[in-house]
Structures are given as structure tokens and as C-alpha cells.
Amino acid sequence: MPKGVGQLVLALSGAGFPLTQLAIRRLGRSGAIVVEGVAVLLLTRDAAMIAGGTPSRLGRGPAILLWLETAVAAAATLFGLRLVFDATARRHAAESRPTRFEAVRRAAVGGLFGLHTLRFRIYLSPDHGRRSAA
């Protein structure tokens, strides 16, 4: 991947949580669908990587992060579903003082983007987080 593209993706990933909040506030249900789609996409990609044996090729830390990101992506997907179908939940998502449910959803989405950003940063390193040959 060209360095500039990698840095752009890294920056977008780092800004992922605020962008999801903006999408929900500005676009309502459509924004919630986009946010849910991103969570599902990351969950699917992580699950496919695990099924393909990627953790065995990674160092211990990056492998643990992959498993953790998958679990958090599942939580973000599960908690995000409510916003797609419930207008009240979307209204709470746009408020500055979240309900308990909304706080958990935000923690899951924020955690997902935090872990994704960290893992992507590792991927951009020279060894891509792979196990050392030694």
C-alpha cells in the first residue's frame, strides 16, 4: 500500500468515532445504517482473517488485538442495530448526555475504531505485525 494512502486510512480510522457521531446527527437513520454497515464490515473482515489463520502468522500482541477487535466489532454491531430501527435511540445518540445504553454503544464504537487504528498502525510498520523469524 502506498505510504500516503496508508496514512490517509490511518487518519480516517483515528477520526472514526467522531465521524460516526456526525453521521448519526446529520443523517439520522441513514447515518445509523452507514455506521452499522462499517461495524459489520469490520466484524466480517476480522472474522475472515481469523478463519484464514491470520492470528498464527502474527506476533502475540497483534494476534490478541485482532481477537479483541473482533469481539468489540461484534458488540458495536449488536448495540448499533437499535439505532437503525428506533428513532428514540437515534435521538439519544445525538444528545451530548448519553443514556446508559447509548454510553455502552459509544464505548463499543469508540473501542472498535481505537483498536482498528492501533492494528492498522501496526500493519503499516515494516514487519506488518508478523511473528519474527527467530
Q: Evaluate if residue 4 carries a pLDDT over 90.
A: no
> Is 129 inside any structural domain?
no
What pLDDT score was predicted for residue 133?
Answer: 62
Number of domains into which the chain is organized: 1
> Is 73 inside any structural domain?
yes
> Is 134 inside any structural domain?
no
Band (27; pLDDT cuts 50, 70, 90): very high
Q: Among residues 52, 77, 79, 54, which one has the least CA distance to residue 65?
A: 54
> Is 131 inside any structural domain?
no
Q: Evaluate if residue 81 carries a pLDDT over 70.
A: yes
What pLDDT score was predicted for residue 127?
Answer: 86
User: How far separated are the first and last CA of the chain, in Å rounded?
Assistant: 26
Domain membership of residue 71 as a residue range: 3-123
> Is 36 inside any structural domain?
yes
> Is 133 inside any structural domain?
no
> Is 82 inside any structural domain?
yes
| Long-range Cβ contact pairs of 118-125 (< 8 A, separation 24 or more) | 118/65, 119/62, 119/65, 119/66, 119/69, 120/6, 120/9, 120/10, 120/13, 121/10, 122/61, 122/62, 122/65, 124/1, 124/6, 124/7, 124/10
> Is 23 inside any structural domain?
yes
